A and B are shown apart, each in its own frame.
Chain A
Amino acid sequence: MGSTGTVEAGAAETAGLREKLRPYRAVLASRARSQRAYRTSFVLDLASSLLVGLVELAEVWVLFSNVTSLGGMRFNQILLVFGMADLGFSLADLSFGHLDNLPDFLRAGTLDAFYLRPQPILLQLITSDISLRRLARAAVGAAALGIGLATAGVSWDPRTVVLLALGLVSGYATFAALFVWAAGLQFFLLDGEEMTNAFVYGGRYAATQPASVWSRPLKLIFGFFFPMAFTAYLPTVTILGLPGPDWLPAWLGWCAPAAAAWSWLMGLLCWRWGLRHYQGGGG
């Protein structure tokens, strides 16, 4: 009898959750459908996104045709960093990248429409769009990661698998938080896209580099404040058993989830602060 009750409660909970998610699913499914509706244009979108990914990969490759090692890493080890960072970033860009459009919403006053719907504003904004074309770029990242994993002399044991999973999930979460963080700041900056893009896209670029080559101020900014080093470089260093550089010891690779949590904390604080400013309730 007790177990039936539990099952029923469980079923009711699932139904409740389904109902809670229904608004978001409806919007996302329809966005995804409309992007695939025009086959040619969707394929072109995918192709251009693929090209961007390949050009960025080529950049790393060109660099390594001149040097054999950068920041204590060989090409196939850098591939691991690049792949991990780019996969995480592309997926975050796919699901959060449209937060960049907030200034357009603010200028056109369309953010007000979100206030008239019974869901949290940020959740509505996040689920208001999805950019499927970024899948192509994620594929480049995944391929680089795959090649890196196969050739960089990774020892396959549970520790590696856990670190890899932790690194990827935390990296995705950190980049996603960065978009939220930037969006929160948009409320204060008129035409502030340039500035926030500098840290979002600059952060992505930094994440694909070995942090060992950074100067100390850069280590502070992209190592800790915007914790880009935690999205790929540090987990890779830990996986490969390399010694970490100054200020960034190898064990920090295990702390990727903490970096993600910090980013979300800052992102949500900025968002909350921005929204209050928008409503004029005082900081």
Chain B
Amino acid sequence: MSGAIIEADGLTREFRIRDGKRRRVLTAVDGLTVRIEPGEAVGYIGANGAGKSTTIKMLTGILVPTAGSVLTCALRPVQDRRRLARQVGVVFGQRSQLWWDLPVRESFRILAAIHALTRAEETDRTAELVEQLELGEFLSVPVRQLSLGQRMRAEIAAALLHSPRLVILDEPTIGLDVLSKQRLREFLVGERRLHGTTLLLTTHDMGDVERLCDRILVIDHGRLAYDGDLPGLSRTVGAQRVLVVDLAEPVPDLTGMDGARHLSSEAGGLRQRLAFDAEQTTAAKVLAAVSDKVEVLDLTVEEPDIEDVVRRIYAAGR
């Protein structure tokens, strides 16, 4: 099948809200024009309330756009909602789509019926997902008794059971521990490689974007503020990485280093934070420069944080 998987043109959504006695119009999504091709993995990022969830609801036919148009899998989401549902899987990180009091296995069985999977399809796909998401140990446990990490894996399996062409994940890794996040990302990478699934995910986690997405859309106050890859984004906003060094002895602030800027010192200079631009220098060069002055015991490199990136884009757009 040719053609875009998502094609939004001037997509706009307003909400009329009551603010005390006055009514005002809030524009949640403002003229979004974007085209996503089959097989892409797109990170959709923005601050809380930037319009991410509203966009997703318009893509899936839950909300009717105020203006503009969108085609998802070449279908009109509102009018063709039922046909679209067969091709899209959505995971809402905060809201469960499973049956709270039923065992995970039972939820899958019901969903297979809902999506009219044949016996063979149901068995094969369930087995595949159970193996890859490691659901075996809690298949017969009621959903309400699962840990957050287990539940999220079950949610993802539920959304992918009918092998959708497009998978939309709203904050899939929120609240998960490092290991669970890692597993989930590996699974999504594998799913995409194996089935050519298109991924669209909203997240606050830079790690998700780095490991999963080859394209990033930044939405700010309902408007598309950036469309491109991650290095490009960092370049655009000049987001800097931060080297944190634990030193053998307290030293004065490490200012005046080449390509790095001193941010802060803790414990009287035993731990210092240095910002550097990944375009100009490398962590190794900064580390070498620090090591010339004082012995380094330990170090971490902090990635630019999404909130920070978004803030910078916002500031730049003023």
Contact = CB atoms under 8 A, between A and B. Distances in A.
Interface of A: 19, 22-23, 25-27, 30, 34, 108-110, 112-113, 115-120, 279-282
A112 B60 CA distance: 10
Contacts of A108: 95
A113 B95 contact: yes
A172 B81 CA distance: 31
B78 interface: yes
B114 A118 contact: yes
A30 B110 CA distance: 8
B110 A26 contact: yes
Interface string B82-125: 11011011101001110101100010011001111000000000
Given A23-B113, A108-B95, A279 B62 contact: yes
B225 interface: no
Contact of A118 (B78, B85, B102): B85
Contacts of A19: 116
Contacts of A282: 64
A266 to B, nearest CB: 24
Interface in B1-33: 13, 15
The 9 closest A-B pairs by CB, nearest first: A26-B113, A281-B64, A118-B85, A23-B114, A118-B82, A113-B97, A26-B110, A115-B62, A22-B113
Contact of B62 (A23, A112, A119): A112
A281 B95 CA distance: 24
Interface residues of B, number: 33
Query: Chain A interface secondary structure, helix, strand, loop or mixed?
Result: helix
A22 B62 contact: no
Given A34-B102, A115-B62, A117-B85, A109 B95 contact: yes
Nearest to B110: A26
B63 interface: yes
Given A22-B113, A116-B85, 13 more contacts: A30-B106, A30-B109, A109-B92, A109-B95, A110-B95, A112-B92, A113-B92, A115-B85, A118-B116, A119-B82, A279-B63, A280-B64, A281-B78
Contacts of B110: 23, 26-27, 30
Nearest to B94: A109
A116 B113 contact: no
B43 interface: no
A119 B15 CA distance: 27
B113 A25 contact: yes
Interface in B59-74: 60-64, 66
A212 B162 CA distance: 57
B57 interface: yes
A77 B145 CA distance: 52
Contacts of A118: 82-83, 85-86, 114-116
Interface of B: 13, 15, 57, 60-64, 66, 78, 81-83, 85-86, 88-90, 92, 95-97, 99, 101-102, 106, 109-110, 113-116, 159
Given A34-B101, A113-B95, A116-B88, A26 B61 contact: no
B107 to A, nearest CB: 9
A34 B81 CA distance: 30
B93 to A, nearest CB: 12
A280 B78 CA distance: 11
A280 B15 CA distance: 8
A118 B106 CA distance: 19
B86 A112 contact: no
A22 B109 contact: no
A25 B13 CA distance: 37
27 contacts: A23-B114, A23-B116, A26-B109, A26-B110, A27-B113, A27-B114, A30-B99, A30-B102, A30-B109, A34-B101, A109-B92, A109-B95, A110-B96, A112-B57, A112-B62, A113-B97, A115-B62, A115-B85, A116-B85, A116-B88, A117-B85, A118-B82, A119-B82, A120-B82, A280-B63, A280-B64, A281-B64
A110 B13 CA distance: 21
Nearest to B84: A118
A282 B14 CA distance: 12
Contacts of B113: 22-23, 25-27
Contacts of A113: 92, 95, 97
A64 B295 CA distance: 98
Nearest to A23: B114
A215 B255 CA distance: 90
A263 to B, nearest CB: 26
A27 B95 CA distance: 19
Contacts of A22: 113, 116
A23 B113 CA distance: 5
Contacts of A23: 110, 113-114, 116
Contacts of B60: 115-116
Contacts of B66: 280
Most B-side CB within 10 Å, residue of A27, A110, A112, A120: A112
Residue from B78, B101, B110 with most neighbouring chain A CB atoms (10 Å): B110
Nearest to A25: B113
Contacts of A117: 85, 114-115
B164 to A, nearest CB: 10
A128 to B, nearest CB: 9
